[in-house]
């Protein structure tokens, strides 16, 4: 099977969505002529025209407001916010409008909109362009929060999100865009459930986004020591598939949770709480969390490297609870 990058997989998913549904359109800053800061919409205007691919002024609030209104009228907007860090400028639209209106109208309206954005550090983008803010969205009832770790999942999850009748925040990690894996040419969808990337019987490593690769690398190192780690990819923070994680932890009795976001207030705390509530009697040791320190993302390369958690941190956490 062919291998393509996550950027190509997302572009392919967008082509499929645009070809299969004339109500799908996309707006954002520099997404049309330039192809977007994320470079995933690089050929959409040539294929689908200026009425469906539109550049906007530099106003995230206007982008999200347009998406909300048009989705309530029956369209399916896929809008782009260049960096997740810019969400602060349109947070009211997301938190108090997109997340609430279907509930406030008693289900009589749908908001089938997707907000694509990028997060994460590692490319020297500095403190204001490198944050991992997914936990903030997961705390707001009424929106989906999807966060793929590879090209295959990105294509299937994006198609699933575009066809969802609820608002979806779709978070892509900037460090994964060039990473390639096997991706079918035909359209397919991935559900919002967790995906077991590696089976094991001794310890459960729960991760998402960029930390899935780091977890798989840690699992290979543990295997050299005779330790079989099960690696679970939490592809969706909301809805959250707790059952897959509980089933795994009940089998292994040990759990490490890894994400790039700061440990303090990170979504790993929610996962740990769920494990404690539903599998406490199965745990042989306390749950360990791996993440970034509670400081802004450094710009200096040597400091950014020290800031980011990696497979060595996961290994240390695994050893401490085995």
The secondary structure of 266-293 as a DSSP string is -HHHHHHHHHHHHHGGG-SS--EEEEE-
**How much is the pLDDT for 262?**
98
Confidence class of residue 39 from pLDDT cuts 50, 70 and 90?
confident
Distances (CA, A) of 216 to 48, 135, 198, 211, 317: 39, 23, 7, 9, 14
The answer to whether the CB of 238 falls within 8 A of the CB of 143 is: yes
Distances (CA, A) of 148 to 96, 206, 298, 303: 25, 14, 24, 26
CATH code, 195-320: 3.40.50.920
Both tokens of residue 275? 């494990």
77-113 per-position pLDDT tens digit: 999 999 999 999 999 999 999 999 999 999 999 999 9
Nearest Cα neighbor of 90 from 146, 55, 133, 50 is 133
Confidence class of residue 38 from pLDDT cuts 50, 70 and 90?
confident
183-224 per-position pLDDT tens digit: 999 999 999 999 999 999 999 999 999 999 999 999 999 999
Confidence class of residue 36 from pLDDT cuts 50, 70 and 90?
confident
288-315 per-position pLDDT tens digit: 999 999 999 999 999 999 999 999 999 9
Which of these is catalytic: 12, 29, 129, 230? 129
237-286 per-position pLDDT tens digit: 999 999 999 999 999 999 999 999 999 999 999 999 999 999 999 999 99
Residue 172 catalytic? Answer: no
Distances (CA, A) of 170 to 152, 160, 162, 195: 15, 11, 10, 17
User: How many whole angstroms separate alpha carbon 119 and alpha carbon 208?
Assistant: 13
DSSP 8-class letter at 73: T
pTM, two decimal places: 0.97
- Domain 3-182 fold is Rossmann fold (3.40.50)
User: What residues does each domain of the chain span?
Assistant: 3-182, 195-320
Q: Which runs of E-coded beta strand occur in the chain?
A: 3-5, 24-28, 53-55, 76-81, 114-119, 144-146, 168-173, 180-182, 195-198, 203-207, 229-233, 236-238, 255-262, 288-292
User: How many whole angstroms separate alpha carbon 316 and alpha carbon 306?
Assistant: 15
Residue 60 catalytic? Answer: yes
Distances (CA, A) of 150 to 20, 88, 164, 180, 321: 24, 27, 21, 8, 28
pLDDT surpasses 90 at 7 = yes
User: Mean pLDDT throughout 122-127?
Assistant: 96
Radius of gyration of the chain (CA): 19
| Other C-beta atoms lying within 10 Å of the C-beta of residue 239 | 13
Which of these is catalytic: 8, 12, 29, 60? 60
User: How many whole angstroms separate alpha carbon 214 and alpha carbon 206?
Assistant: 11
Is the fold of 3-182 the same as that of 195-320?
yes
């Amino acid at each position: 099977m062919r291998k393509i990058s996550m950027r190509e997989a997302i572009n392919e998913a967008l082509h499929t969505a645009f070809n299969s549904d004339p109500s799908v359109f996309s707006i954002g800053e520099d997404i049309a002529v330039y192809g977007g800061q994320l470079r995933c919409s690089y050929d959409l205007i040539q294929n689908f025209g200026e009425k469906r691919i539109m550049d906007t002024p530099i106003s995230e609030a206007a982008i999200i407001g347009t998406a909300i209104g048009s989705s309530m009228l029956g369209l399916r907007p896929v809008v782009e916010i260049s960096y997740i860090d810019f969400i602060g400028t349109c947070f009211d639209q997301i938190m108090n409008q997109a997340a609430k209106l279907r509930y406030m109208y008693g289900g009589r309206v749908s908001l089938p909109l997707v907000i694509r954005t990028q997060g994460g550090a590692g490319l020297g983008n500095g403190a204001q362009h490198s944050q991992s803010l997914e936990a903030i969205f997961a705390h707001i009832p009424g929106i989906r929060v999807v966060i793929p770790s590879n090209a295959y999942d990105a294509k299937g999850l994006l198609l699933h999100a575009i066809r969802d009748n609820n608002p979806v925040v779709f978070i892509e990690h900037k460090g994964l865009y060039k990473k390639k894996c096997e991706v079918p040419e035909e359209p397919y969808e991935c559900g919002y459930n967790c995906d077991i990337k590696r089976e094991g019987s001794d310890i459960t490593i729960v991760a998402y986004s960029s930390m899935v690769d780091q977890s798989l690398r840690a699992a290979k190192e543990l295997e050299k020591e005779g330790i079989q780690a099960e690696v679970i990819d939490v592809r969706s923070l909301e809805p959250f598939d707790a059952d897959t994680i509980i089933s795994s932890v009940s089998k292994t009795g040990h759990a490490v949770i890894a994400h790039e976001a700061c440990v303090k207030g990170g979504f790993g705390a929610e996962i740990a709480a769920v494990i404690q509530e539903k599998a406490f009697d199965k745990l042989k040791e306390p749950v360990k969390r791996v993440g970034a320190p509670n400081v802004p993302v450094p710009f200096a390369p040597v400091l950014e490297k020290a800031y980011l958690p990696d497979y060595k941190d996961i290994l240390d956490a695994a050893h401490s609870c085995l």
